[in-house]
Amino acid sequence: MEIRELKDKKILILGFGREGRDTFLFLRKLFPKKVIGIADAKLGLVKPKLTKGYFGKDYLKAVKDYDVIIKSPGIPFKILPKSALNKIVTQTDIFFANCPGRIIGITGTKGKSTTSSLIYSILKAGGFKVHLIGNIGEPVLSYIQKTTVNDIFVYELSSHQLYNLKRSPHIAVLLNIYPEHLDYYRNFKEYSLAKANITLHQSKDYYFVYNSKDKNVLEIARRTKAMKIPIQGKYYELDRNAARAVARIFKVPEKTIFKAISKFKGLTHRLELVGQFKGITFYNDALATIPEATIAAIKMLGNKVETIMLGGFDRKIDFKNLAREVLKSKIKTTILFPTTGEKIWEDILALSKRKKTPKHFFVNNMKDAVKLAYSETGKGKICLLSTASSSFSIFKDYKEKGDLFKKYVKRLVSKK
């Protein structure tokens, strides 16, 4: 939706978290005297001047009274009234329709933050005027009015931001598609279709960089009109190869690409080395919220992984392949968080066929988990936090989970 179309519309901001607040500030600058609606399930939110608020369990009833509904990513389409669907737009919609610069969109179930950061670092090293925005960077609308055709936006896009998107980026990167967010979408097919929007509206002079070894991605690639650039690789190798492919589109010299990748230190909570304490090496992989990411981490670190922390919020994901990997590995101890910790352990038992299984401990807080890690992990071995599940059962999010892990690893070292 173009900005000029908003002028005479009754506008409702649906969801008033980080993105919703950014939307409000953007609209207030454009329309200083317009009354703007704000709807959110949480009670007690601060209501700015010249707004009409709808808070609490009935907040969705407000949608019928507005012409345009700017929806935040955290609100699933499936809970909205059908009558509201044709009025829904998002920050991503507005940005794509009004941005004069070039957009590089990156998505994938795993790896999109690292890939986005790598692309940003390489292009910046190559002398381009580049911005890191979206899921990893800053909210996007504040850029629209100060952007020129020379600006490049590296936009990390979640499936929620891509859902129902009417435009696609000039360069699209699709890394992988695994089952995730199945509590948000009706099924895996709907989740995959959301991801597919990153290339659905591309034209023949656009670029599509894709993982040619992922069958779900490959199916999407067959239908694109864009120029196709296949890549492959395991774990961080895939992220680096995607970043290289994008950099070459911009004709960044190979020496610059190599140097930027060599200097890149990686992101926190993504197979992050916490350090060695009492002879035990601790890795924080808190963002591994699906089995495939945890399996990759186990394979990458190899036979030194002796203790692993698993489990979290239940999103109806299958853990059988993870259970097989645990049994195949040298892991001796599993520390299990609610609620999927129980499901993972049941799968390990079911697949063990009476062979020796690792020790298992059920815990409901990080302090106890780290205490167990110190007592159960041998010197020269690895303790890996890589839960294969979302964090919301007992943690606020993956950041809190990872930060608590690092905090107690360092705090409890003297108490072993």
- pLDDT at residue 182, as a whole number: 73
Percent over 90 (pLDDT), the chain:
80
- pLDDT at residue 148, as a whole number: 92
Q: Would you place residue 105 in the very low, low, confident or very high pLDDT band (cuts 50, 70, 90)? A: very high
Supply the angle between the helices 291-301 and 320-328 in degrees, to the nearest 10: 10
Residue 53 sits in the same domain as residue 115: no
| Residue 386 is assigned to a structural domain of this protein | yes
- pLDDT at residue 83, as a whole number: 86
pLDDT tens-digit map of 131-165? 999 877 666 888 888 889 999 999 999 999 999 89
Residue 167 sits in the same domain as residue 259: yes
Residue 411 sits in the same domain as residue 297: yes
**Domain with 329 in it: what CATH number?**
3.90.190.20
Residue 251 sits in the same domain as residue 281: no
pLDDT exceeds cutoff 80 at 402 = yes
- pLDDT at residue 46, as a whole number: 67
| Residue 1 is assigned to a structural domain of this protein | no
Q: Which tops the pLDDT comparison, 235 or 217?
A: 217
Residue 35 sits in the same domain as residue 102: no
* Cis ω for the linkage preceding 109 (within 30 of 0): no
- pLDDT at residue 137, as a whole number: 62
- pLDDT at residue 143, as a whole number: 86
**Domain with 164 in it: what CATH number?**
3.40.1190.10
SS3 274: strand
Residue 259 sits in the same domain as residue 123: yes
- pLDDT at residue 232, as a whole number: 94
| Cα distances (Å, whole numbers) of residue 164 to 4, 90, 198 | 21, 9, 10
Residue 62 sits in the same domain as residue 147: no
d(CA 21, CA 337): 33
| Residue 196 is assigned to a structural domain of this protein | yes
| Residue 2 is assigned to a structural domain of this protein | no
| Residue 245 is assigned to a structural domain of this protein | yes
Residue 41 sits in the same domain as residue 108: no
When divided into structural domains, the chain yields a total of 3
Question: If 0-12 CB within 10 Å is exposed, 13-18 middle and 19+ buried, where does residue 282 land?
Answer: buried
pLDDT exceeds cutoff 70 at 397 = yes
- pLDDT at residue 236, as a whole number: 84
Residue 112 sits in the same domain as residue 57: no
How many degrees, rounded to 5, is the angle at CA 213 between CA 211 and CA 216? 75
Range of the domain at 377: 272-415
> What is the helix, strand, coil percentage profile of the chain, to 5?
40, 20, 40
Among 131-145, 186-200, 261-275, which stretch is predicted with the lowest mean pLDDT?
Answer: 131-145
Q: If you average pLDDT over residues 89-104, what whole number do you get?
A: 94
Residue 220 sits in the same domain as residue 97: yes
**Domain with 84 in it: what CATH number?**
3.40.50.720
| Residue 188 is assigned to a structural domain of this protein | yes
Q: Look up the pTM and report it.
A: 0.89
Residue 103 sits in the same domain as residue 235: yes
How many degrees, rounded to 5, is the angle at CA 190 between CA 186 and CA 194? 130
| Cα distances (Å, whole numbers) of residue 383 to 11, 38, 297, 334 | 50, 45, 12, 10
Q: Would you place residue 234 in the very low, low, confident or very high pLDDT band (cuts 50, 70, 90)? A: confident
| Residue 224 is assigned to a structural domain of this protein | yes
Residue 251 sits in the same domain as residue 298: no
Neighbour-count burial for 289-328, b at 16+ CB within 10 Å, e otherwise: bbbbbbbbbbebbeeebbbbbbbbbbbebebeebbebbbe
Q: Which two structure tokens, joined as six digits, stand for 59?
A: 């907040």
pLDDT exceeds cutoff 60 at 416 = no
| Residue 3 is assigned to a structural domain of this protein | no
Q: If you average pLDDT over residues 35-50, what whole number do you get?
A: 84
- Which string of DSSP letters, residue by residue, matches 325-365? HHHHS---EEEE-TTHHHHHHHHHHHHHTTS---EEEE-SS
d(CA 190, CA 201): 17
Q: If you average pLDDT over residues 361-385, what whole number do you get?
A: 97
Given 228, 263, 298, the domain boundary residue is 263
d(CA 126, CA 317): 41
130-134: strand order across its sheet: 130-134, 152-156, 102-107, 171-174, 207-211, 227-231
Supply the angle between the helices 398-411 and 366-376 in degrees, to the nearest 10: 50
pLDDT tens-digit map of 317-345? 999 999 999 999 999 999 999 999 999 99
Percent over 70 (pLDDT), the chain:
98
Given 27, 57, 89, the domain boundary residue is 89
Given 70, 89, 108, the domain boundary residue is 89
Q: If you average pLDDT over residues 85-106, what whole number do you get?
A: 93
